[in-house]
Amino acid sequence: MTTYSMHKLVAELTRDEGLRLKTYRCTAARLTVGIGRNLDDVGISGSEARLFGCDTPAQALAHVKRHGVTKLQAESLFANDIVGCERQLDRRLSWWRGLDDVRQRVLLNMCFNLGIARLLGFKSTLRMIERREYEDAAAGMLASLWARQVGARALRLSTMMRTGKDAR
């Protein structure tokens, strides 16, 4: 059950990730396409291979590397990635659904950007979020290497965490 604004999340992630129909290397040197689909770590699933008219994930990945994706294909991969982040947060941070809309979107955005393993590395910050210590959690977000790497994105997300309000 979605308890946050999917429309706002999609807009935020699209702004932060951008839409690129040809493959490129992201700032972490991972092969990426569409709206932040990390092809090196996530790849293409068997069910997604059919989006590209392919029988196997390996064929689909080769196709995407050669030809890129259409806007519709990018949006389909993006929707699957959001669902994947929700599932990972449900499994690893079951309390996240009890947060308000804005702070749920912050965690989803960070999970989307970092992956669940790297997000879980924010141990102290996550404990603060769970305890609703949002001022300290926002400070923890900004004190990270991630914040230095993503700049304005971290500023927006930390402001959202601190205030519980949408950032501009």
Confirm if 58 and 26 have CB atoms less than 8 A apart: no
**Domains defined for the chain, CATH in brackets:** 6-163 (1.10.530.40)
Quick: pLDDT tens for 22-78.
999 988 899 999 999 999 999 999 999 999 999 999 999 999 999 999 999 999 999
Q: Indicate if the pLDDT at residue 134 is higher than 80.
A: yes
Average pLDDT estimate for 117-142: 98
Altogether, the residues listed in the chain come to a count of 168
Structure tokens given for 167:
């950032």
Q: Which pLDDT score is estimated for 167?
A: 86
Quick: pLDDT tens for 69-82.
999 999 999 999 99
Share of the chain above pLDDT 90, in %: 95
Q: Which pLDDT score is estimated for 28?
A: 82
